[in-house]
Amino acid sequence: MPSKTADVPLKRKRSKGVEKPKKRARSESGSDEEDNAQAEILLLENGILESKKNYNNITRLLDLSRQKKDGESSLIATVALCRVFLRLLAQGTMTKKADQSEKETIVIQWLKDRLVDYEGILLDALAEEDTESTALTLAMRVLKAEGQYRDNKDEYSFPEPFLKDIVHAIIFNGSEDLRQEFCEKHLGEYCDVRYYAFKAMNDVFGADESSQSTRESLFNNAFEILSFFEYVPDTMEEMGEFYLEKPPKKHPVTVLSQQKRLGQVAWLAALRLGPNRDQRKQVLQIMTRSIAPWFTQPEFLADFLTDSYDAGGSISILALSGVFYLIQHRNLDYPSFYQKLYSLLDNDILHSKHRSRFLRLMDTFLQSTHLPAVLVSSFIKRLARLALNAPPAAIVAVIPWMYNTFKAHPSCTFMMHRVPRTKEEKALIENEGFNDPFDASEPDPMKTNAIDSCVWEIVQLQYHFHPNVATLARILSEQFTKQSYNSEDFLDHSYGSLLDAELSKQVRKPPVVEFMIPKRIFLPQDPASGVEDNLLTKIWGFGIGSGPSKQLKPIAWADTKDSMTCEWTGVFLCRCYRPAGQNQAVPPGIAIGRHNEWRLEHRYWDRETIAREQLPTYLELCEHVRHGHMHCGRGPYRNQLGNTSSCAQSDVQPPP
């Protein structure tokens, strides 16, 4: 059994070590030295267990376990010491008795001091990545032995100081893997370990006086441990087993309310660390599921939740469920709750990733039939207005919500079929248009006049570009024969899900599409092809048209430094280049630019004007292209037919 226990850490160490293969590959003498070290450790261990005269071997093993240079031998010595102290505790050697002599009492105290030294070595090993898992296992074995073989067996006592040191080392110096292992193997399995671990966390955080950055890091570690429990147990049987023996009498560790009370204490201690904005979001996301059920007095969360609810933005949306939890279970009096809820309906709410969470809560808050119709109509109208600029996935969720709300509040259905009833109203609308009485800037939902308005936005959504949205919006124009829609069927839609739904549809009748790919879109078709020019080309004139402008040469726009562009468009702002050192006369209609270039005086010229005034006779810069686009300068030149050549700067000259 001892050799079997020692093999596990050896394999773990060898798999992660970096320098061990070098030592093994050096020579056979290195292997012999390691074998000798292991043999020495086993001899020291056996000597301790054989006779009290060899207790000084414990000091030698402690020295070997502190040597970090030879990590393998140090780990073997640490495991050997664990076996030694477990055997001594089980034998009662470290337990004080009434008839012991003074010399035996001194020996027992010396052994306890060495046990404390060994526990310190284990706590240091928890901070090392290579030994953390083994150290945690050894530490919890020692803790269990201390609790089982205590001095007074009549009273229940848990080794709290050592567990507190373990929790401190895990939170302050442990890695993420170590915290996960501690939660899975101990905190989530044993109710007594959880009870005293929560108590230890309160003491650890209460005595911490580190900087703000360190406190944020500590909060992340504490949150990782405390949020391990997704759901809080409701009965003591669900709390788990006992790591130590179950207390013979009624003890706080066996009472569910006391377990929850210490869970509440641990969470409050973590929240006092001052989480930042992102950490606050993490807390609010699991508030009603994993945090609030621990609290025997949930009103302690009132300040945290109300501050978060008043913060605005996504934090307010996340805090909404926690505030409602306190209102529902603890009768929290939150003034102007619906006014604050209405303020969350801003332009970003339907674009937020928390949209589904918010709409679920909205469905809960507004289903009460005791709410006034004036209040409910403001929420309906506000969401209808926001749906005009919302993505299709959000509109798909809003419309069924509106249907259910109209069914729950029939007094609001006037908003769907409001028509002018008098001739004066009809004449006013025909002459001046419809003036929506809804005041979108009013923060109080009781004063928006939404009940006097109508949901004309739904009519606009019935002509939405997305066919699913348009079809779904028409349900509000039909008879309300359906009792209600299941909101969960619509809340989790996204662009991806809508696209997948369209692609997976079975098309009964193939739609009519244009199957001929046009050769040209922005340019005229070749006369020989027999294809008529499209309407865009005829109106805008991207290419050579008909009439007198057909004889025009390309009109050029010349850059002042290293390039020129010649292009056909319907309207031109023409510039032409004048080389330095030439003093030609400036043609009519041309001005000198600040870079010594010829320029049309910031005027836009259409084709007829250019043809009528014969501007091409002195704006022609290049003869290579008959129509299309051309670029002359230091780069490549490509004409309409796809031929590529170069047009040097010297090829482009102004007219004489």
pLDDT band at 541 (very low <50, low <70, confident <90, very high): low
Q: What is the structure's pLDDT at 446?
A: 93
The full DSSP string for 260-299 is HHHHHHHHHHHHTT---HHHHHHHHHTIIIIIGGG-SSGG
Same domain, 353 and 431: yes
Is residue 115 a part of any domain in this protein? yes
Q: Supply the DSSP symbol for 241.
A: B
Cβ atoms 404, 439 nearer than 8 A? no
> Which has the higher per-residue pLDDT, 514 or 277?
277
Would you say residue 452 has pLDDT above 50? yes
Is residue 243 a part of any domain in this protein? yes
Region 586-590: mean pLDDT is 46
Nearest-angstrom CA–CA distance, 595 and 578? 9
Same domain, 314 and 360: no
> Which has the higher per-residue pLDDT, 70 or 232?
232
Q: At 632, is the secondary structure helix, strand, or coil?
A: strand
pLDDT tens per residue, range 503-515:
888 888 877 776 6
Mean pLDDT (the chain) is 76
Q: Which of 298, 318, 334 is the last residue of a domain?
A: 334
Is residue 163 a part of any domain in this protein? no
Q: What is the structure's pLDDT at 152?
A: 59
> Which has the higher per-residue pLDDT, 566 or 509?
509
pLDDT tens per residue, range 384-428:
999 999 999 999 999 999 999 999 999 998 888 877 778 888 888
Nearest-angstrom CA–CA distance, 12 and 387? 58
CA 329 to chain centre: 30
Would you say residue 544 has pLDDT above 60? no
Q: Which of 155, 178, 195 is the last residue of a domain?
A: 155
Q: Which of 503, 535, 561 is the last residue of a domain?
A: 503
Is residue 514 a part of any domain in this protein? no
Is residue 194 a part of any domain in this protein? yes
Place of tokens 């105290």: 109
Region 3-24: mean pLDDT is 37
638: β partners: 644
CA angle 117, 122, 125 (to 5 degrees): 130
Same domain, 408 and 298: no
Nearest-angstrom CA–CA distance, 345 and 401? 15
Is residue 508 a part of any domain in this protein? no
Q: What is the structure's pLDDT at 595?
A: 46
Place of tokens 């001052």: 274
Same domain, 568 and 646: yes
First to last CA, the chain: 107
Domain containing 627 equals 527-651
Q: What is the structure's pLDDT at 30?
A: 52
Cβ atoms 328, 267 nearer than 8 A? no
Cβ atoms 405, 376 nearer than 8 A? yes
Q: What is the structure's pLDDT at 430?
A: 81
Whole-structure pTM value: 0.66
Q: In the chain, how many domains are there?
A: 4
Same domain, 47 and 115: yes
Would you say residue 378 has pLDDT above 90? yes
> Which has the higher per-residue pLDDT, 491 or 651?
491
pLDDT tens per residue, range 144-157:
998 888 765 667 78
Nearest-angstrom CA–CA distance, 188 and 184? 6
Same domain, 539 and 606: yes
Same domain, 92 and 192: no
Cβ atoms 55, 103 nearer than 8 A? no
Nearest-angstrom CA–CA distance, 655 and 5? 98
Same domain, 312 and 351: no
Cβ atoms 398, 390 nearer than 8 A? yes
Cβ-based neighbour number of residue 351 at 10 Å: 13
Is residue 519 a part of any domain in this protein? no
Q: What is the structure's pLDDT at 210?
A: 66
Same domain, 297 and 369: no
566: β partners: 556, 630
Beta strands in 593-641 (DSSP E): 598-600, 605-606, 629-633, 636-638
How far apart, in Å, are the Cα atoms of 76 and each of 9, 42, 72, 73, 578? 8, 9, 6, 5, 89
pLDDT band at 623 (very low <50, low <70, confident <90, very high): very low
Nearest-angstrom CA–CA distance, 242 and 237? 11
Same domain, 317 and 395: no
Q: What is the structure's pLDDT at 93?
A: 84
Same domain, 346 and 430: yes
**H, E, C per residue of 346-402:** CCCHHHCCCHHHHHHHHHHHCCCCCCCHHHHHHHHHHHHHHHCCCCHHHHHHHHHHH
Is residue 589 a part of any domain in this protein? yes
Same domain, 137 and 67: yes
H or E element, residue 572: strand 571-572
Region 44-65: mean pLDDT is 88
Nearest-angstrom CA–CA distance, 167 and 165? 5
Would you say residue 613 has pLDDT above 70? no
